[in-house]
Amino acid sequence: MKRTPAELVKNYIWILIGSAVYALAFDWCFSPNGIAFGGVTGLAQIVNFFLPQATVGVMVIVFNVPLFLAGWKLLGGHMLVSSLVAMALSSVLIDLFNLWIDFPPMEDLLLACLVGGVLLGAGIGIIFLQGATTGGTEIVAKLLKLKLAWLPMGKLLLIADLTVVAAVALVFRNIDSALYGIVGIFISTKVMDGVLYGLDTAKVAYIISDKSEEIARVIMDDLDRSVTYLEGEGGYSGQSKKVILCAFKQRQIVEIKETVRRIDPVAFMIVTASHEVLGEGFGSYHNNDL
């Protein structure tokens, strides 16, 4: 779907904001505290350690060139351009923030991990929502997502980033740096998935009861949730049963359980977590969904 000029401007403003948050996480929380960073930025940390004149931002761009060449066919036109912009902005801002602001080390490294992880996850999540990446392992994760669509982006990034963090630990010969880095990355993946998929996670309930129609009516009328009937058959009794399938928000789980218990205390109910629910009352379908 072609974007209007206004939509493109809004898109790139958000990419700028996300890139600034990403760069701030690195320059404020990770770099001055000697905490290992994942992805291509972590590789740039290694090069900068041995060659201080090779700035992190410049090395990130250098490392990203082959990755963009490898992934440009699969990324598509808009994503390729927006990702190049995001990668360039985040790389330049890393060097500019480092040049303009003297970030002192934090006394509490755990606090640095927590704040850095939150900022990092928020920055990457904002960029991903615009259909872009900052390059590096995010391109690798995006390409893996095309083949492993059921896995959240956060988990795919976690695998790639942990590999780099292990390499940073070996080079720096500092296991604490790697362990703090793992904490920061883990937090960032949770925050990023929260930005991408929402904090109010959905649940799915399967309810088997002899009073399924009464339960369904209360759920639809009082709780404003839709239900679907599935045809079931008791394995032991051989009797036909209506199985209620209902998707609902996390905050409604107590009301759902209380409704079922009140109408049929012996009803069989299974509640499962849902990665994502799309449709009326939940999320919407978009291009470049993650």
> How does the average pLDDT of the chain come out, rounded?
83
Q: Using one digit for the tens of pLDDT, what is the confidence trace for 73-113?
A: 656 666 778 888 998 999 999 999 999 998 999 989 899 99
E strands within the chain? 202-208, 228-233, 240-249, 268-274
Would you kindly state where each structural domain of the chain is located, as residue ranges? 5-197, 202-274
Which three-class secondary structure state does DSSP give residue 226?
A: coil
- Arithmetic mean of pLDDT, 60-80: 75
Residue 128's pLDDT is 85
**Alpha carbon of 274 to those of 186, 203, 250, 268, 278: distances in Å?**
21, 5, 10, 19, 11
Say whether pLDDT at 228 is over 60.
Answer: yes
Distance between CA 188 and CA 154 in Å, rounded? Answer: 8
Residue 76's pLDDT is 60
The pair of three-digit structure tokens given for residue 184, joined into one six-digit string: 């920061």
Is the separation of the CB atoms in 55 and 180 below 8 Å? Answer: no
- Return the CATH number of 202-274, one of 3.30.70.120, 2.40.420.20, 3.40.50.10540, 3.40.50.970: 3.30.70.120
Helix axes 137-147, 153-172, angle to 10 degrees: 140
User: What contacts 192, CB < 8 A, 6 or more positions away?
Assistant: 120, 121, 122, 124, 125, 128, 153, 154, 157
